[in-house]
């Protein structure tokens, strides 16, 4: 077990990729703080990993709030004594819209969670990592942070480019404290939310057109990448972006604007 007795915080750990990350890290021996805006989701995951609460606890936090980020770290420290790993997974996506229709409130909300949330959680955890001269930070970025999203809107692309820049810059800042900072950049992940918000035939069409390996990523596969970057096997890796995308970035040559417009229509149909 490559993370035996390490203490890891996983934000957005109550469902989707965050749940996959938490489960893989628990399998690898980590003690976990499963953090989520929805406390019941966090409790469900933590209890399924460890109903005794000795190896997994649930914490409620809104990562876009500084006080919540600081309280998240303090509660983890009280439970386990330290923090070795921070996985900044919490993220949101607004309804897909074109720039001229993008509301200021949506921009602020997406940037607040996806970009500011990563910043605040890093700020909260760094004092204990710097004091111990070691630590691993893994930011769950996106291929949208390397190129762009063809599945969402410009606010999501901008927020993930912010994560990319933060990852690279922070890796440089804290390297002399023995802290590694890297990012996992998923392509499409088959989460319950994706299944609810898209039609199967649309997902199949996208996979055939843009994913060389022929399928979307499983949530546990994001966990495998995050676990590796959190382990001693990655001690000489920092400031890097690890794409877990089935080969999407090898291509991307099609004009997929029609896909975005179709998703907007599907979303509107579901909401009405």
Residues belonging to the active site: 156
The stretches of the chain forming alpha helices (DSSP H) are 16-27, 39-49, 66-80, 104-111, 117-132, 154-174, 192-197, 200-210, 219-229, 257-271
* CB-based contact 230:25 (threshold 8 Å): yes
Cα-to-chain-centroid distance, residue 120: 14
User: For residue 240, is it left (φ>0), alpha (ψ between -120 and 50) or beta?
Assistant: beta
Mark 95-106 as b/e (b = at least 16 C-beta within 10 Å).
bbbeeeebeeeb
Sign of the Cα pseudo-torsion (247, 28, 35, 132, in order): negative
CB atoms near residue 245 (< 10 Å): 23
**How far apart are the C-alpha atoms of 64 and 86, rounded to whole Å?**
16
Cβ neighbour number for residue 195 with a 10 Å cutoff: 11
Per the CB < 8 A criterion, the answer to whether 134 and 179 are in contact is: yes
Report whether 39 contacts 94 (CB < 8 A). Answer: no
């Amino acid at each position: 077990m490559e993370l035996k007795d390490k203490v890891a915080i996983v934000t957005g750990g109550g469902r989707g990729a965050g749940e996959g990350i938490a489960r893989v890290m628990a399998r690898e021996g980590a003690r976990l703080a499963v953090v989520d805006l929805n406390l019941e989701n966090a409790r469900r995951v933590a209890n399924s990993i460890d109903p005794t609460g000795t190896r997994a606890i649930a914490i409620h936090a809104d990562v876009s709030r500084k006080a919540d980020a600081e309280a998240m770290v303090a509660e983890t420290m009280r439970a386990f004594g330290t923090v070795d790993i921070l996985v900044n997974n919490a993220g949101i996506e607004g309804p897909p819209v074109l720039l001229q229709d993008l509301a200021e409130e949506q921009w602020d909300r997406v940037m607040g969670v996806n970009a500011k949330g990563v910043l605040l959680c890093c700020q909260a955890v760094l004092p204990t990592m710097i004091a111990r001269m070691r630590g691993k930070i893994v930011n769950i970025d996106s291929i949208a942070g390397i190129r762009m999203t063809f599945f969402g809107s410009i606010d999501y692309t901008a927020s993930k480019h912010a994560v990319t820049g933060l990852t690279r810059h922070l890796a440089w800042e804290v390297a002399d404290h023995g802290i590694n900072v890297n990012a996992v950049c998923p392509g499409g992940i088959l989460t319950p939310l994706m299944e609810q918000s898209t039609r199967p035939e649309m997902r199949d069409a996208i996979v055939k057109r843009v994913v060389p390996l022929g399928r979307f990523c499983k949530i546990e596969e994001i966990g495998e990448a995050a676990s590796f970057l959190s382990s001693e096997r990655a001690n000489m890796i920092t400031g890097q972006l690890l794409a877990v995308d089935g080969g999407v970035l090898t291509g991307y040559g099609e004009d997929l604007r029609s896909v975005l417009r179709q998703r907007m229509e599907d979303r509107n149909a579901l909401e009405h």
